[in-house]
Chain A
Amino acid sequence: MIVKQPSDAESVRLAQAGDRAAFAHLVRRHQGGVHRFIMRMLGSHEEALELTQETFIKAWQALPQWQPQAQFKTWIYRIASNTAMDALRRRKIVEMVPLEEDYDAPSQGAGPEVQLESRQRLWALESALAALSPEQREVILLREIEGLSYAEIGAALDLHEGTVKSRLARAREALASVVRGSEA
């Protein structure tokens, strides 16, 4: 028997009326993306876990004000972005640290040399990502990893599409420059 999953809009409507099960459904659907985004913004698994929880608690509190014309996905990324930026300001660290080097990279059955090279390349990319400004990093993450369109990024970060387009291009340019520098 195929159980039809409720849409975000249906779950939000129920959660607005106080249905915790519907809200739990929304959390489970979006927790992976929100956690991944915050983790790459801050470079810390522990902090990302804590701030992911904070993001969803804020969402629950703000849910009565949620407008049906907004997408829950972009709305939750907006809260996540604000939460991550606040944390960066609190830390007074604009440039985050890259993720730990012993972070597990996918092996995909390759030999040890290929795995090592792959790990080094990923490590270089992590470091390059950490070197970007938080504003550039968030557009790159939302586009390349979370797969949001320009319009969705604009809605999530409260930016015009033209600004998203130019910021993304500058972020890519900067990222490619850092990666090239690390390979040289």
Chain B
Amino acid sequence: MRRDIPHDCPRIEALSSLVDDEIWGSARDEIQAHAAACPLCGATLQAFRDLRRGLQALPDTGPGVDIATSIGDRLSPRTKARPTRRRIPWRWEFAPTGLAAAGVLALGAYLGMLLASGTTVQVARSPAATVFGTVPAGGLCLTAGCYERGR
């Protein structure tokens, strides 16, 4: 039913939309008025309406069984949805490793500079660290001043 549409006829979509009540207002009025006067568009519109009546009259038997019952034992048990882990943008995924690497490099560079300049580092001796010393804790040398003299 390919129509050779004259220039002033509406497009086939407009006639189809009219059958479906999917066109409103003045556009609808114009198409209706045109179809009433144009034999080609009038016949097309009638054919579309006949098709609708015919399709709606097609027999419908239905499935004939209760689908809900027939699939009942094929439905898998619902498992609780796992909370999804929020995806971290890839740039931030490597941040801890990068920071650690930068820290190690900075420390290495600092120690290297110290060695190169010959600077000695005075490390404060903590009383708690005396357990690692050569003098036993509670030793008499501590009270006699031996420790300070380096004995």
Contact = CB atoms under 8 A, between A and B. Distances in A.
Interface of A: 17-18, 20, 23-25, 27-28, 31-32, 35-36, 40, 45, 48-49, 52-53, 56-57, 60-61, 64, 103-106, 118, 121-122, 125-126, 129, 140, 143-145, 149-150, 165-166, 168-170, 172-177, 179-180
A180 B47 contact: yes
Contacts of A125: 51, 54-55, 58
A36 B60 contact: yes
A145 B56 contact: yes
B28 to A, nearest CB: 14
Contact of A60 (B13, B63, B75): B75
Interface string B29-66: 00000000000000010011001101111111111111
Interface string B67-85: 1111110111110010000
B71 A53 contact: yes
Interface of B: 1-3, 11-13, 15-17, 19-20, 22, 44, 47-48, 51-52, 54-72, 74-78, 81
Interface of A is mostly: helix
B1 A176 contact: yes
A122 B2 contact: no
Contacts of A170: 12
A20 B22 contact: no
Nearest to A40: B58
Given A56-B71, A60-B75, A125-B54, A177 B1 contact: yes
A165 B71 contact: no
Given A28-B67, A173-B2, 7 more contacts: A28-B66, A32-B63, A144-B51, A165-B16, A172-B16, A172-B51, A177-B1
A53 B71 CA distance: 6
A52 B13 CA distance: 32
A30 to B, nearest CB: 9
Nearest to A147: B56
Given A36-B62, A52-B63, A144-B56, A150 B22 contact: yes
